[in-house]
Amino acid sequence: MKDIAKRFSENPLLKPADLKPSTEGLEIACLLNPGVFQYQDKTWLIVRVAERPALKENLISFPVLNSGNIKIIEITKDDPELKATDARVINYKGVDYLTTLSHLRLLCSDDGIRFYEPEGYHPIMGEGILQAFGIEDCRVTFLKNTYYLTFTSVSDNGVGVGLKTTADWKNFQSHGMILPPHNKDCAVFSEKINGQYYALHRPSSVEIGGNYIWLAQSPDSIHWGNHKCIIKTRENLWDSARVGAGAAPIKTDAGWLEIYHGANYQNQYCLGAFLTDINDPSKIIARTEEPIMIPSADYEVSGFFGNVVFTNGHIVHPDGDTLTIYYGASDEFVCAAQFSIKEVCSLLKYDHA
């Protein structure tokens, strides 16, 4: 297997202790999965900040949002109605909860390495009943002077995709939930194609089907239809259990290049790539057979949820070839790695789509 990522020597770029919790009584457990964009000559991250109360012996406690307030739920670890086998999710009395509550935080940087929280840009918190368990993993697409933010909205109603738009990162328009449960990993294309908006998304089908990448089309970016399933999981490969889009596809001479994540049944998350037709993104032209990035550094192998590299944001440099992907490592740290787009394309298999 060939891992072609050139990891930044400064990794991890951000760790939980680098930011202040949003609310007294909470601590930051994880900083992960940033959306990335350029604004006012700086590189910006919209980072997922996952918080929980300080760990107490014999207790599992986690926050949920209730009419704009944070409510802490506490359960004793030996409660027979508690099922806690995954660091990320628990089940209590038959209901699933997240162990952390996520919001989104804006950070910026002059060099793409050292990030700070600029004054006057507020955290984006979950709002309303469809975001009671938080908002996560925001992708950012810039199209015609507007930034489109697509993110995961979590509540006991399910996991779906929310949309906000902004021009200045201070005033936001909320467009509610654009793709209902179960759906996440939504990335809007950076250009309209034949007059339509396009987006990749990842519905999960519980019975027949699976966790596949789909393509949707929209006349206005709010109402999505003409859904097509374009990338499936592959048995016995690194992406056998789940696949999901990274950030908006990259326009290349050969077509739209998408960096995506795939997980196997051991919950190892790697990155790969696929290529679609430039005029018809439902046509898959090629796909990597092997991952292009595999968790291997210490900070990728062990952490809040180990063996994970997950990306939903990147920057294509002016040379048109250098790609910096920002990624969440072991669901706990924000890191970066560089790729050559040409090298990624050289690993695409045209008979493997």
Query: Which residue's beta carbon is nearest to the bound ligand MAN?
Result: 88
Whether the Cβ atoms of residue 127 and residue 163 lie closer than 8 Å to each other: no
CB of 331 vs ligand MAN, minimal distance in Å: 6
- Joined together, the tokens standing for residue 339 give 């790729």
Nearer to ligand MAN, 156 or 168 (CB): 156
DSSP helix/strand/coil, 130: helix
Among 82, 89, 113, 278, binds ligand MAN (CB under 6 A): 89
DSSP helix/strand/coil, 145: coil
Whether the Cβ atoms of residue 95 and residue 62 lie closer than 8 Å to each other: no
CB of 152 vs ligand MAN, minimal distance in Å: 5
Q: State the distance between the two ends of the chain, measured CA to CA, in whole angstroms.
A: 19
Can the peptide bond before residue 12 be classed as cis, meaning omega within 30 degrees of 0? yes
CB of 121 vs ligand MAN, minimal distance in Å: 24
CA distance 138 to 153: 10
Query: Which run of H or E residues covers position 200?
Result: strand 197-203
Nearer to ligand MAN, 88 or 349 (CB): 88
Among 65, 106, 154, 199, binds ligand MAN (CB under 6 A): 154
DSSP helix/strand/coil, 298: helix
Nearer to ligand MAN, 89 or 301 (CB): 89
CB of 28 vs ligand MAN, minimal distance in Å: 14
152 binds ligand MAN per the rule CB under 6 A: yes
Please identify, among the stretches 66-74, 107-115, 152-160, 173-181, the one whose residues bind ligand MAN according to the rule CB under 6 A.
152-160
CA distance 125 to 119: 17
CB of 201 vs ligand MAN, minimal distance in Å: 14
136 binds ligand MAN per the rule CB under 6 A: yes
353 binds ligand MAN per the rule CB under 6 A: no
332 binds ligand MAN per the rule CB under 6 A: no
Identify the CA nearest to 106 among candidates 42, 62, 187, 23.
Answer: 42
Please identify, among the stretches 140-148, 151-159, 164-172, 279-287, the one whose residues bind ligand MAN according to the rule CB under 6 A.
151-159
CB of 321 vs ligand MAN, minimal distance in Å: 31
CA distance 71 to 62: 8
Among 14, 98, 161, 273, binds ligand MAN (CB under 6 A): 98
Tracing tokens 């787009």 back to the chain, one arrives at: 341
Binding string, residues 41-80; x marks residues near ligand MAN by CB under 6 A: ----------------------------------------
Instruction: Quickly list DSSP for 19-55.
Output: S--SSTTEEEEEEEEEEEEEETTEEEEEEEEEEEEPP
159 binds ligand MAN per the rule CB under 6 A: yes
CA distance 313 to 308: 15
**Residue 296, CB half-sphere, CA atoms under 13 Å: how many?**
13
Nearer to ligand MAN, 256 or 305 (CB): 305
156 binds ligand MAN per the rule CB under 6 A: no
Size of the site for ligand MAN (CB under 6 A): 8
CB of 139 vs ligand MAN, minimal distance in Å: 14
Nearer to ligand MAN, 43 or 99 (CB): 99
Among 6, 71, 88, 122, binds ligand MAN (CB under 6 A): 88
CB of 4 vs ligand MAN, minimal distance in Å: 25
CA distance 189 to 34: 17
28 binds ligand MAN per the rule CB under 6 A: no
Phi, psi of 296 (to 5 degrees): -145, -35
Whether the Cβ atoms of residue 273 and residue 288 lie closer than 8 Å to each other: yes
Interface residues with ligand MAN (CB under 6 A) are 88-89, 98, 136, 152, 154, 159, 184
